[in-house]
Structure 1
Amino acid sequence: MEASTSQMQTFGQTEINWDKLDKTKFYVVGAGIFTGVTVALYPVSVVKTRLQVASKDTVEKSAVSVIRGLLRTDGIPGLYRGFGTVITGAIPARVIFLTALETTKVTAFRMIEPFKLSEPTQAAIANGIAGMTASLLSQAVFVPIDVISQKLMVQGYSGHAKYSGGLDVARKVLKSDGIRGLYRGFGLSVMTYSPSSAVWWASYGSSQRVIWRFLGHGTDLKEAAAPDTWKIVSVQAAGGIIAGATASCITTPLDTIKTRLQVMGHEKRPSTRQVVKNLIADDGWKGLYKGLGPRFFSMSAWGTSMILSYEYLKRLCVKE
């Protein structure tokens, strides 16, 4: 019991709760920080998406060949196809996500506190509930942005149509499919991103507690000094990598199916079952894991960069 109490004290010294934040500063500074992270890692999403929609006749079937092809035809801008659309929609979606995440996490911790579970288990449950809730609420903004940006990412690749920009995609989708066209794959997006978010945040929250315990924090009740900043950042980074690896391995098949559904044209709209059958027919069961390498790297890199930026943002925005 003493170790558990001390561990909670140690972790309390490293985590900043929602009620301690200057919300205005948090949103304004956060928009800038997450835009920077998106700029740095966006090309990975482009490569991952192209690999997921590649047919068996596509020449470019590896991440390296996709990058070479994009650089050869479009130069550096080719790695940022659809970026303008994504960054426009990402800011409101991120505001919704982070607000829901933090408020739900606090509530979830209070709800499960009477059950007297271990600290890692409490963290996994509370963070998992918060991650899933935040993802569900942000999907209403995110899915149309996802549909438009992915069509821009794969335009001209493996027989896909070309567009003059995000507005052109939206106009053509609305003309052919109506508002439903912008929400193609919504169910699968919810099924992909909500569990993925739940797994990611649950893994992140619990792995940090386990790592702190492994490092010896939480074994001495008299320990009062907070860990130094570099140790905190290292533990957070390790938690991000573990969370990204876990979530990518579990959710890649759903992400591959969702991506294919979203980029298909109106004239050849398949069902989910047809997409699965085609993937298995072309590449066997490993077809469901197309783009696993880039997705694994993407989720680990995005997750680690995002969580370090997020934790840094919270430290910047603590109320005086």
Structure 2
Amino acid sequence: MEAALEALPLGESKSTTSPVIHAAKDIAFGSIAGICSKVFEHPFDLTKVRLQSQVLDATARFNGPIDCLVRTWQNEGIRGLYRGLPAPVVGAMVENATLFVSYTQLQNAIRWANGQPHTQDPTLPQLALAGGGAGAITSFLLTPVELVKCKMQVQMLAPGASAVSITSTPTGPTGAATLGAIKPQTLPGPISVLMSVIRNTGFRGLWLGQTGTLIRESGGGAAWFACKEFVSMQLIKRRAKSSGSELTRKDILLWESALSGACAGGVFNFSMFPADSVKSAMQTEEELRPRGKGAPPLTFLGTAKAMYKAQGIRGLYAGCGITVARSIPSSAIIFLIYDGLSRRFAS
């Protein structure tokens, strides 16, 4: 049953599928799975970022995830719950496509380094190593996307931000001003936010919080893939034993993909959450706690110490509950769609 750990898509044969076609499928299926999961989870991700961003504030804006969701809905409507969505949709496509492609190619590299044949199934530690490497690679593409996303998600919390703006209209011979129409305030979109970062800090500024993303994605990637493959293997072994038949990785059922993916999602987010909290605090400081010109640059360790000093370990896990809760179905969706498409379009 070691074949249950096989990393190829469902129903795909090592001997008949070219590396180029395999990589193309990883990119396409990973992108589709990422988009679907991100649309589902974005309101919860927005809540997480807003809770993380208030850890260093003297007074908390929200009392918890439910309060944040309700007040966002009341003050900003459905549009507010999906504020900043374009950036994470792009990020989800990049993240999942890169993850799955890198994951497969790193397994091949590990086999080559160990002198193992290409057909040999990787061990669980090797899968964890490949998953961690895939996460590390992905982190460098993901940090600029997450920077834009986080900044947009706290736009309405910035000092002076308001859901509406009131215009004044000069009237009469003296030009006395009277109140005009109340209209929605126009907030910067993702391109404007991106260009603002480049203008103010240069291209290097797009990687603010990279240390946190690297820790989260490398450690989380190892946990995510290893947990998914381990649970999948156990489910397949259990079914094989009860049926008395020989089953391999390609025989996994979609509900088994979803369940193992759900377990992986919970493990990923809980294990690496403090790193994500520090990253979010760093990426939203300019909007929520501007320090002015001449201030020393932000550091990952310095921000982590400040957050721990402010609220202890609780501050580093602000928003963890709702993040883990949404990551379970979100990760299940990713693997359900990825494995389902792999089976449907298997060569």
Q: TM-score, normalised on structure 2?
A: 0.76
The structure in which a higher percent of residues are strand is 2
What does residue range 26-175 of structure 1 map to in structure 2 within 5 Å? 27-28=27-28, 31-54=31-54, 55-108=57-110, 122-157=122-157, 159=159, 163-175=187-199
Q: 5+ residue gaps in structure 2?
A: 163-186, 292-296
Post-superposition CA distance 1:167-193 (Å, at most 9, x none): 221122112211121100112211111
The equivalent residue for 2:269 is: 248
Change (3 A) 1:92 1:203: closer
Output the amino acid matched with 1:274. Answer: G
Number of residue pairs the alignment of both structures matches: 304
Alpha-carbon distance in 2 for matches of 1:30, 1:133: 17
Q: Is the 8 A contact 1:143 1:189 kept in 2?
A: yes
Alpha-carbon distance in 2 for matches of 1:172, 1:161: 17
Q: Is the 8 A contact 2:91 2:142 kept in 1?
A: yes
Post-superposition CA distance 1:21-52 (Å, at most 9, x none): 85556644654443222212221211111111
Change (3 A) 1:178 1:239: same
The equivalent residue for 2:175 is: none
Aligned: 1:217 with 2:240: yes
Output the amino acid matched with 2:154. Answer: V
When Rg is computed on C-alpha atoms for both structures, the one with the higher figure is 2
Alpha-carbon distance in 2 for matches of 1:233, 1:276: 40
Q: Is the 8 A contact 1:123 1:202 kept in 2?
A: no
Output the amino acid matched with 2:144. Answer: P
The equivalent residue for 2:299 is: 271
The equivalent residue for 2:335 is: 307
SS at match of 1:217: helix
Change (3 A) 1:225 1:188: closer
Q: Is the 8 A contact 2:240 2:247 kept in 1?
A: no
Q: 5+ residue gaps in structure 1?
A: 1-6
Q: Is the 8 A contact 2:147 2:206 kept in 1?
A: yes
Output the amino acid matched with 1:42. Answer: H
The equivalent residue for 2:182 is: none
Change (3 A) 1:273 1:142: closer
Q: TM-score, normalised on structure 1?
A: 0.82
SS at match of 2:202: helix
Return the offset for 1:134.
1.7
Aligned: 1:232 with 2:253: yes
Post-superposition CA distance 1:262-308 (Å, at most 9, x none): 11118435433432233223322221111110221233222111111
Alpha-carbon distance in 2 for matches of 1:314, 1:274: 44
Q: Which moved more, 1:99-108 or 1:308-317?
A: 99-108
Change (3 A) 1:216 1:313: closer
Alpha-carbon distance in 2 for matches of 1:265, 1:107: 41
